Amino acid sequence: MSTAYKNRIQEFKVALSEENINLKTLRELCFNGIPFEGGIRALCWKVSPSASILVYSQFLKEMIIQPGIAKANLGLAREDVTLEDHPLNPNPDSRWNTYFKDNEILLQIDKDVRRLYPDMAFFQRPTEYPCQLILDPQNDYETLRRRVEQTTLKAQTVNRNRSGVTNVSSPGKALNLYPSNEYEVLPNGSEAHWEVVERILFIYAKLNPGIAYVQGMNEIVGPIYYTFATDPNSQWKEHAEADTFFCFTNLMSENRDNFIKSLDDSQCGITYKMESVYSMLKDKDLELYLKLEEQNIKPQYFTFRWLTLLLSQEFLLPDVIRIWDTLFSDQDRFHFLILVCCAMLMLIRDSLLAGDFTVNMRLLQDYPISDVHTILTKAKELAWTDVGKTQHTAF
């Protein structure tokens, strides 16, 4: 470890040890990357967990429970099944109706989180801190994994072959959704990291019915959870699930419009932001902009994924986390994200200017530069030219 890096760690420790943390100073430090050592990154990313742990526990109690089953050690008794809350009751306000609708969302979440960062073993490994409220054999709460298994089992498909023989098969098995050799079977009382992520997304969907769950949210929550769940400070690591939920919720409060289709063409929607990348490119590199326009390469062909998923699919996880250090420290983070996208285009301008449509689409959908430091440095340069223009206009 170099002397400069040790000094940088010390700067963070001093900033974080202040009784009243100077957020401006901390943001400036974070903008250039946060050290992993000592749990500094996790601490800088997260919100205060003092109340969040209790609140999150309450969410677990209220939302991950099968209708008609109560938790005995909370002093609740099982309710008798009545006509008003019978599973076949068509009333949209029925708890069973809600349960079945939730299962549709849960199945999509389950499908996505099982394949989260498939090139990494981390998300398939057991967490050191499984949720005891869910896994305690003395209570009646079921794990979401069990709920998914029961749902796919009940939703069996019936096929009749040409001989008239009826075959009953599980959709999961028929579609090969859960190959037997794909995931290690964990012992009772254990749960994999992807199951924790699944629970976070399910609770978020329950609390935000207007948006619920949209594919891609798993790619945003993944790096946040990984950062907290690998915190070297075990006292903080134990609460990775609750901290991830609240950090993800805060981030989505700024980013959720990108996931709402009805807002796509509004000024706060994703279409406007994609077009902003080209508007900025036109200002910074007219020749490259005209080349992409000439080839009819629309910004939505590649920037949709870049912007909605905060570049989480374009780089390896450690590099995504480094980019997010800078994004999270910038108060105007989504404008800076557009600067980063513009920088990515300009850094491969020579290849784009020389390539045809097919070659350029391949470059943009499988970005060739892996050095995120170079990309962030270029984005900072573009940001400074923006500041210079603003100041020049002011005078």
Domain regions of the chain by residue span: 48-156+171-223+241-251, 261-393
H-helix or E-strand containing 63? helix 52-63
Mean pLDDT throughout 178-201?
77
Closest to 108 measured CA to CA, from 230, 231, 198: 198
The predicted structure's pLDDT at residue 87: 54
- Name the DSSP letter for residue 313: T
Look at residue 111 and tell me whether its pLDDT is greater than 50.
yes
Q: Is the pLDDT of residue 115 over 50?
A: yes
Instruction: Provide the pLDDT for residue 219.
Output: 95
Give me the percent of the chain exceeding a pLDDT of 90. 44
pLDDT at 277: 95
CA 330, 333, 336, 340 dihedral sign is: positive
Closest CA to 387 of 325, 321, 335, 334: 335
Cα angle at 212 between 211 and 213, to 5 degrees?
A: 105
Question: Count of CB atoms within 10 A of residue 197's CB?
Answer: 27
What's the rounded Cα separation, in Å, for the pair 282 and 357? Answer: 19
pLDDT given at position 294: 97
Token pair listed for 198:
């699944």
Which of 147-156, 253-262, 314-323, 385-394 has the least mean pLDDT? 385-394
Given a cut of 90, whether residue 266 has pLDDT beyond it is no
Residues 200, 193: Cα–Cα separation, whole Å: 11
pLDDT, residue 259, reads 80
Task: Give residue 183's pLDDT band: very low, low, confident or very high (50, 70, 90).
Answer: low
- Cα-flanking dihedrals φ and ψ of residue 300, to 5°? -70, -15
Checking if the pLDDT of 159 tops 60, the result is: no
Weakest mean pLDDT among 19-28, 34-43, 178-187: 178-187
Handedness of CA 353, 356, 361, 366 (dihedral sign): negative
Query: Quick one: CATH architecture of 261-393?
Result: Orthogonal Bundle (1.10)
| Lowest-pLDDT range of 188-192, 220-224, 275-279 | 188-192
pLDDT for 39 equals 82
- Mean pLDDT for 338-354 is 97
Confidence class for position 179, pLDDT limits 50, 70, 90: very low
Among 234, 232, 144, residue whose Cα is nearest residue 194: 144
**The predicted structure's pLDDT at residue 181:** 42
